[in-house]
């Protein structure tokens, strides 16, 4: 079914497919499996199900004097057809369309192949928005590029017009009960035809709103194709005249008649416009026809709740461009290089030897970064919701306990993560070390979790996670100025944990411990304490870096004592449990339950090279127990009185089970649920602990559930769409490749956990990204690092041969490079005499050979 290392294809029947285009902080429009445009979310708010009227691509072909054929460039409409008034004409569902559409998505590229025997051409759409890891600006353009490539399959010349129609939605479209377009904020809309040397198209704007208005903005549909035909405004008639006139005009001769309206639309109304690309194709000829869709809606409310009365802020992109036409013009000059970088990223990620479902999990969960879950302000501040309701952000404020699971953004856009740490430790951490876990200091409102007027508890896991993430950001950046800025907050935050939550001062947390399950744990429990132990280790390392040896020592001492005490208290012989005399004394505990998140802190320690937080064999046993007890291959008999994410014959990992009994009468909310963000963190941890098969099974189960019929492969839902926690999937790449990087030390290391004989994967290391490869024969291990983008300064390169290495050889772009084996126990570390400075396109190769003895 799935081609190896390929990614699934989808047909028109896979109605849940919605592949989001759009940049960081720009909003999105998605492509469906039929090639349709859906979920218009470019107006600074989520819009699942939001359609734009009259907005579709269409193709007309004609050979000689044969009848012309015109088709909407979409696959067949799928059931159910259950609307109370049928499909409204603005959906164009009544127009003929292609017989088949085949969709393939390899983020950031979507491809749709259209087939229909009635047309003499094959049509392929490729759609994307430039995506260049490490460069948020290049990845944050409010645009989508649609390229239709046509091949003339006939033996005669084909005349063709490809037309893109777009509704001018500036001001905001609404619909009445019949589905007719209602006033909304529409009115005084006008579509200008603009032609420049290499760019021509339509600029859709409104004269109703001033630049400072929330509703101000514009959209453009443009092309670099030289020969165009244009209708600036569809017929302003009654009933369904608009579509009838357009389709008759288009299908008659492929040339559009402009109706000559010179005034903007009336208040409450707007116009649709069409840009057609006109050409002929010789027999067998293939040509690409590009459309540039750009948008510019600069203003959004500075509010987590989309309150229209709140003060406005400007999107990051609004500081760089003045209009959507300005963006289109920028693209004309820069698209070739943006596209080349984007293709290099795609090739590096999908050119991997990793299993297809792993690539799927990695790439699909880049989406939250560029979805409406995140936004990015003109002043550089970057924020995320937890996820999104259909029409609004859901659960505000860089929620620390959710975002702590996320790894994707940190490795792809580390500057944005450093910005989030800056906000957490400089703005959101009080002198006491109490950290607002939802950036409520920033926005001036305090979120209270339904518990009356009290200040919410700080979140233990979120606060510890933020400390760990400071260390992660440091490793990836070596940015000392930034570290110095956040460091005082880090010290206060860890001190707060020790005093507030460790009430008996035994270095195991036991107080009231608010956490990501939106409840409070009481007493010693693995989630909070292991997270705390990991944070102590991070503080120890950071203290060394900050030349505070006394603090480092204290942190170490607390860690050592806490680690011993935690193992004594929490280990049940198989996994770690919560210790409470009466598990029902408080609601929503887990007690003897086997918690999937029990070792999340230990996973962080693996990711960041912080070592074992608890006895290694206990860790391995516990992670294995999580898989053994919590991974269910079938949910038909599962009893879940909470929210349901997995059901029927699907497989998934439960948040908690009670294999030895002791289930509380009301266990913590969410305990019987399945969250992809936790599935990925457990899968990555299983891989780190050598339980490869188990880890991969979980990943495959998650992605099998997102099959286009049941769920959208590009939307992992938890408490909202594009849920931030799902970005834990990037840990899979780190675990499978054994990637470690320390910018300050100039060291990079890989230790593939699979396919060691022939391994290839993407890596991203702070200032550069590219592809790592490894080939292993009996006595030789050759590895290569190809930099696709940016630069990378290296002094050390670590590899993990199955034996003790004897010699090393290295070259850069084929040129020999002096290198030495710094040590070869427990992995080989190669040192370079001069710090290497790789730039994009460089290829570093090293080869290790084995000792002549029989050691291995």
Least separation in angstroms between residue 157's CB and a second copy is 24
Q: Which of 1, 3, 67, 81 is the binder for a second copy (CB under 8 A)?
A: 81
For residues 440, 412, 322, 194, the Cα torsion angle rounded to the nearest 10 degrees is -140
CA 553 to centroid of chain Cα atoms? 38
For residues 111 and 711, which CB has a smaller minimum distance to a second copy in the complex? 711
Q: How far apart are CA 593 and CA 750, in angstroms?
A: 35
Q: How many CB atoms lie within 10 A of CB 149?
A: 17
Given candidates 322, 584, 644, 813, which one binds a second copy under the rule CB under 8 A? 644
Closest distance between a second copy and the C-beta of residue 241, in Å? 6
Nearest CA to 724 among 375, 457, 434, 424?
375
Measured from the CB of residue 247, what is the shortest distance to a second copy in angstroms? 6
787-816 residues in contact with a second copy (CB under 8 A) are: none
Q: Should residue 177 be labelled a site residue for a second copy when binding is judged by CB under 8 A?
A: yes
Q: Using the rule CB under 8 A, which residue among 453, 617, 637, 855 binds a second copy?
A: 637
Among 643, 820, 823, 837, binds a second copy (CB under 8 A): 643
CB-CB contact of 775 with 826 (8 Å): no
Shortest spacing between CB 17 and a second copy, in angstroms: 11
Binding range to a second copy, per CB under 8 A, among 86-94, 185-193, 476-484, 770-778: 86-94
Residue 211 near a second copy by CB under 8 A: no
> Toward a second copy, which CB reaches closer, 118 or 758?
118
Of residues 3, 64, 79, 661, which one binds a second copy by CB under 8 A? 79
Out of 642, 690, 757, 823, the residue judged to bind a second copy by CB under 8 A: 642
User: Token match 């699909």: residue?
Assistant: 364
CB of 449 vs a second copy, minimal distance in Å:
11
Q: For the segment 95-124, give every residue that binds a second copy (CB under 8 A).
A: 95-96, 99, 118
| CB nearer to a second copy: pick between 581 and 649 | 649
505 contacts 578 by C-beta, under 8 angstroms? no
- Contacts of a second copy in 34-53 (CB under 8 A): 48
Nearer to a second copy, 83 or 839 (CB): 83
Instruction: Name beta bridge partners: 815.
Output: 812
Residue 773's beta-bridge partner residues? 760, 784
Q: Does residue 388 bind a second copy (CB under 8 A)?
A: yes
Residue closer to a second copy (CB basis): 394 or 687: 394
Q: Tell which positions 658-677 bind a second copy, by CB under 8 A.
A: 665-666, 669, 672-673
Binders of a second copy among 310-349, rule CB under 8 A? none
What does the chain come to in residues? Answer: 856
What's the min distance (Å) between Cβ of 447 and a second copy?
14
Contacts within 8 Å (CB) and 24+ apart, 481-488: 482/418, 482/421, 482/422, 483/542, 483/545, 483/546, 484/546, 485/422, 485/425, 485/426, 486/421, 486/422, 486/424, 486/425, 486/426, 487/425, 487/542, 487/546, 488/425
DSSP 427: I
**Footprint (CB under 8 A) of a second copy, residues 695-754:** 709-712, 717-721
Q: What is the DSSP string of 740-781?
A: EEETTTTEEE---SS-TTEEEEEEEETTEEEEEEEEEETTEE
Which position has the token pair 């408080």?
Answer: 586
From the list 184-192, 214-222, 253-261, 639-647, the region that binds a second copy by CB under 8 A is 639-647
Question: Which of 2, 9, 68, 76 touches a second copy by CB under 8 A?
Answer: 76
Output 282 or 709, the one with its CB closest to a second copy. 709
Residue 581 in tokens: 């005399």
Q: Please give, one letter per residue, the 3-state secondary structure of 646-691.
A: CCCCCCEEECEECCCCCCCCCCCCCCCCECHHHHHHHHHHHHHCCC
Is residue 454 at the binding interface for a second copy, with CB under 8 A as the rule? no
| Least distance (Å) between residue 453 CB and a second copy | 17
Q: Among residues 118 and 426, whose Cβ is nearest to a second copy?
A: 118
Per CB under 8 A, which region of 85-93, 191-199, 492-500, 840-848 contacts a second copy? 85-93
Smallest distance, a second copy to C-beta of residue 434, A: 25
Q: How far is the CB of 750 from a second copy (least distance, A)?
A: 37
- Of the ranges 32-40, 245-253, 291-299, 314-322, which one interacts with a second copy (CB under 8 A)? 245-253
* Window 7-36: residues binding a second copy (CB under 8 A): 15-16
In the complex with a second copy, which residue's Cβ is closer, 261 or 389? 389
**Which residues in 573-592 contact a second copy (CB under 8 A)?**
587-588
Instruction: Report CA 416 to chain centroid distance, whole Å.
Output: 13
How many residues make contact with a second copy (CB under 8 A)? 71
Find the binder of a second copy among 83, 252, 448, 758 (CB under 8 A): 83
Report helix, strand or coil for 391.
coil
Pairwise CA distance, residues 215 & 174, whole Å? 14
| CB-nearer residue toward a second copy: 379 or 637 | 637
The CA–CA distances, whole Å, from 826 to 448, 692, 780 equal 50, 20, 16
CA distance 788 to 760: 14
Residue with tokens 């890596």: 763
Choice from 188, 199, 243, 749 touching a second copy (CB under 8 A): 243
In 3D space, the residue among 335, 108, 132 whose CA is nearest the CA of residue 770 turns out to be 132
């Amino acid at each position: 079914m799935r081609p190896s290392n390929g990614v699934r294809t989808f047909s028109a029947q896979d109605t849940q497919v919605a592949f989001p285009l759009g940049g960081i902080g720009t909003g999105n429009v998605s492509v469906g499996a039929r090639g349709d445009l859906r979920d218009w979310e470019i107006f600074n708010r989520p819009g699942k199900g939001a359609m734009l009227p009259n907005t579709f691509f269409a193709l007309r072909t004609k050979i000689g004097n044969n009848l012309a054929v015109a088709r909407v460039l979409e696959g067949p409409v799928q059931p159910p057809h259950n609307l109370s008034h049928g499909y409204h004409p603005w959906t164009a569902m009544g127009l003929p369309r292609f017989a088949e559409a085949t969709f393939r998505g390899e983020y950031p590229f979507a491809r749709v192949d259209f087939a229909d025997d009635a047309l003499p051409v094959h049509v392929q759409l490729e759609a994307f928005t430039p995506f260049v890891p490490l460069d948020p600006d290049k990845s944050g353009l409010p645009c989508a590029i649609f390229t239709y490539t046509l091949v003339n399959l006939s033996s005669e010349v084909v005349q063709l017009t490809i037309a893109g129609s777009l509704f001018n939605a500036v001001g905001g479209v609404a619909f009445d009960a019949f589905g007719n377009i209602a006033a909304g904020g529409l009115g005084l809309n006008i579509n200008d035809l603009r032609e420049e040397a290499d760019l021509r198209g339509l600029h859709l704007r409104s004269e109703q709103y001033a630049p400072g208005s929330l509703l101000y903005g514009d959209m453009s549909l443009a092309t670099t194709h030289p020969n165009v035909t244009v209708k600036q405004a569809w017929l302003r008639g009654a009933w369904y005249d608009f579509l009838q006139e357009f389709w008759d005009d288009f299908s008659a001769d492929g040339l559009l008649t402009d109706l000559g309206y010179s005034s903007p639309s009336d208040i409450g109304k707007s116009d649709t416009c069409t840009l057609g690309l006109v050409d002929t194709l010789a027999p067998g000829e293939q040509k690409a026809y590009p459309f540039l869709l750009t948008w510019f809606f600069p203003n959004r409310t500075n509010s987590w709740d989309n309150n229209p009365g709140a003060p406005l802020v400007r999107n990051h992109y609004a500081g760089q461009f003045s209009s959507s036409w300005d963006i289109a013009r920028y693209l004309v000059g820069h698209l070739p290089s943006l596209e080349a970088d984007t293709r290099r990223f795609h090739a590096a990620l999908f050119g991997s030897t990793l299993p297809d479902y792993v690539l799927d999990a990695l790439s699909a969960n880049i989406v939250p970064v560029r979805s409406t879950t995140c936004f990015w302000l003109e002043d550089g501040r970057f924020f995320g919701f937890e996820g999104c309701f259909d029409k609004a952000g859901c659960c505000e404020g860089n929620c620390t306990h959710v975002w702590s699971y996320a790894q994707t953004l940190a490795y792809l856009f580390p500057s944005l993560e450093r910005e989030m740490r800056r906000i957490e430790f400089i703005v959101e951490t009080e002198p006491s070390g109490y950290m607002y876990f939802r950036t409520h200091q920033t926005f001036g409102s305090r979120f209270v979790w339904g518990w009356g007027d009290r200040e919410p508890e700080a979140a233990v896991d979120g606060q510890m996670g933020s400390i760990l993430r400071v260390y992660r950001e440091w490793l990836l950046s070596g940015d000392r100025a930034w570290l110095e800025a956040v460091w005082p907050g880090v010290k206060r935050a860890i001190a707060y944990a020790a005093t507030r939550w460790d009430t008996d001062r035994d270095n195991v947390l036991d107080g009231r411990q608010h956490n990501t399950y939106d409840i409070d744990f009481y007493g010693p429990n693995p989630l909070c304490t292991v997270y705390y132990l990991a944070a102590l280790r991070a503080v120890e390392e950071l203290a060394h870096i900050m030349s505070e040896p006394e603090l480092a020592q204290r942190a170490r001492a607390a860690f050592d004592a806490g680690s011993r005490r935690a193992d004594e208290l929490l280990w049940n012989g198989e996994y770690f449990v919560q210790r409470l005399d009466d598990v029902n004394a408080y609601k929503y505990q887990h007690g003897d339950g086997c918690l999937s998140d029990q070792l999340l802190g230990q996973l962080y320690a693996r990711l960041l090279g912080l070592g074992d937080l608890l006895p290694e064999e206990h860790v391995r046993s516990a992670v294995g127990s999580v898989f053994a007890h919590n991974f269910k291959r079938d949910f038909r008999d599962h009893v879940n009185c909470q929210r349901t994410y997995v059901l029927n014959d699907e497989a998934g990992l439960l948040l908690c089970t009670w294999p030895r009994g002791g289930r509380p009468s009301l266990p913590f909310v969410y305990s019987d649920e399945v969250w992809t963000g936790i599935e990925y963190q457990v899968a990555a941890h299983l891989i780190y602990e050598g339980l490869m098969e188990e880890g991969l099974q979980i990943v495959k189960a998650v992605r099998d559930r997102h099959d286009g019929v049941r769920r959208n492969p590009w939307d992992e839902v938890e408490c909202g769409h594009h849920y931030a926690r799902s970005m834990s999937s990037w840990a899979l790449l780190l675990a499978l490749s054994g990637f470690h990087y320390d910018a300050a030390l100039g060291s990079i290391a890989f230790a593939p956990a699979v396919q060691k004989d022939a391994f290839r994967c993407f890596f991203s290391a702070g200032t550069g990204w590219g592809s790592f490869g490894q080939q292993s024969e009996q006595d030789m291990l050759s590895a290569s690092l190809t930099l696709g983008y940016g630069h990378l300064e290296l002094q050390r390169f670590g590899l993990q041969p199955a034996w003790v290495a004897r010699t090393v050889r290295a070259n850069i772009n084929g040129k020999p490079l002096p290198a030495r084996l710094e040590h070869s126990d427990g992995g080989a570390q190669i040192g370079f005499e001069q710090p290497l400075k790789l730039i994009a396109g460089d290829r570093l190769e090293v080869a290790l050979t084995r000792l002549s003895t029989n050691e291995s």
